[in-house]
Structure 1
């Protein structure tokens, strides 16, 4: 058995994995990694990316460039033009990211799930002062990004962003092992609430859809193109920011400085596209939710 396989088998032990990724000083490690990943020394860059490749299935063949200044530059890489196909069906909302579908399905009132037996509410996630009526009894999808995936997120439909709210928080790991052990984990971690209104025709026009990027250990920074601030643990500015930024379907909205999870909240009338279920790998632009109202 190779060393790589032995290490992977060791980390597959749930108790050990949880200990190593959650019981260490999470905030300190996250801040350290944020600084370390931006070091542009060629030796540090090459060693960092080499170790990253060893522990993951990192594939850079679709990257727009092949030479990176730092590990951070590699992590936030752009894709080659045409690397993703955007579903153009007017009744379809496409996936905003490359990811793995986690918990998903109907929202029971305002209750959703992070894992089987671990519910949380939209009030926990977005705050009690937020108008949640648009998503009551709607549909939710949790999309998890692994470390090796493409980490930029895109508009799932032609839309206008009218508000962003930032929630400072912890940096628990968001892998399935932690989601089965830490109650209301997404509601504890650093996250942003991006409120959008769809620009379509007929009854789909004006529907409210929310994107909630959630940060995690080593990955606590979110960059949005339409805000001139970096949302991270040290951010001390306004928590709620009014916006008026329009995006076309598939247009890039921002990126994780490292990566984590995006929760999609859709109103009643949207349902997960046929063939998709928990554990399915999706690519940015792929059909995710269908409007059938």
Structure 2
């Protein structure tokens, strides 16, 4: 039995309270999770978990094993980092989270290129727009787009994130092209549920306007709204990192191009500067250099 892997599986079960969730997170079958736990209990000759139909809880022996297992895994991580310092090779696994739209559009390719440079490294990327607790879920790095990042986290700016209003040419041909922000009240607008859902801000020089838009379709994910706009569903406020290829191809047209909307920033967020692993530092530097050079 790989006892370190068994300890890792046990720690994940203890954290999630679920064999199925652990199987999904570690990309193994539920039967394999069960086997690792059973073999760890056989090795220690102790019952570590109480299992019911509703939840999984730790026994007293499980509480003690959890502390020791966490220490062992942390020690193994330290050994890997120390070895990496001597031979210059990054090892281990990084856990990242990112929004789905940015993960799909740019981050996946960036991480693939980074891994080609570091063949001994592994990355687990969770794409989600929900807010996650980086400490509780043991996330090394969160890539988030925001105007006000969480003040409790360290935030390293990777790139600016401008946005643009877009619509399909067919929609504008059928409904007209607005020439002033106020005209948006007469259009079908596609709203991002997590940001400026019904109130859009505009600026042109010193002039500012705020418009309450009526949205028949809103979503919590930018890519959904992008494809709704491509289908002629209305006018969408899109980050340029998503919209730019479609604007260049003529599949979308910019709307109110002489008006600016508030820009946000793409941040890398992490819990603490202390004990930042060489792999995380290397990835931060790589992403910063890559995204600073992007035209969007």
Tell me the TM-score normalised to structure 1 length. 0.22
Q: Kindly indicate which of the two structures has a greater share of residues assigned to helix.
A: 2
Larger RCO (CA within 8 A; separation ≥ 6): 1
The structure carrying a bigger strand percent of its residues is 1
TM (normalized to structure 2)? 0.21
